[in-house]
């Protein structure tokens, strides 16, 4: 990476940090001033979006997590080590 590229990257990171801090400040200000009706509406909309996304991903819902299989392996290894 050239010196110019490094300087661009540093500038980008600095801008991102400053922008992120400002966006965070704006977010918390909006949350502090939000009334109950707006909060309910936004919560309802967020949950509806999550429901729509989940309904569009049946393969992800039906796929096992692997936790049961992992616990079987742990139990098997524990029995062998005793």
Tell how far CA 41 is from the center of its chain: 21
Quick check: 52 and 44 in contact, CB under 8 A? no
Token pair recorded at residue 9: 């990257």
Element (H, E) at 82: none
Q: What is the pTM of this model?
A: 0.46
pLDDT per position as a tens digit, 2-61 = 999 999 999 999 999 999 999 999 999 999 999 999 999 999 999 999 999 888 877 666
Token pair recorded at residue 47: 């949950």
């Amino acid at each position: 990476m050239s010196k110019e590229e490094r300087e661009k990257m540093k500038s980008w990171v600095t801008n991102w940090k400053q922008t992120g801090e400002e966006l965070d400040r704006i977010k918390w200000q909006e949350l502090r001033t939000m009334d109950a009706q707006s909060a309910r509406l936004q919560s309802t909309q967020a949950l509806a979006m999550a429901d729509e996304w989940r309904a569009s991903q049946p393969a992800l819902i039906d796929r096992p997590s692997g936790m049961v299989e992992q616990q079987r392996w742990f139990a098997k290894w524990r029995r062998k080590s005793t």
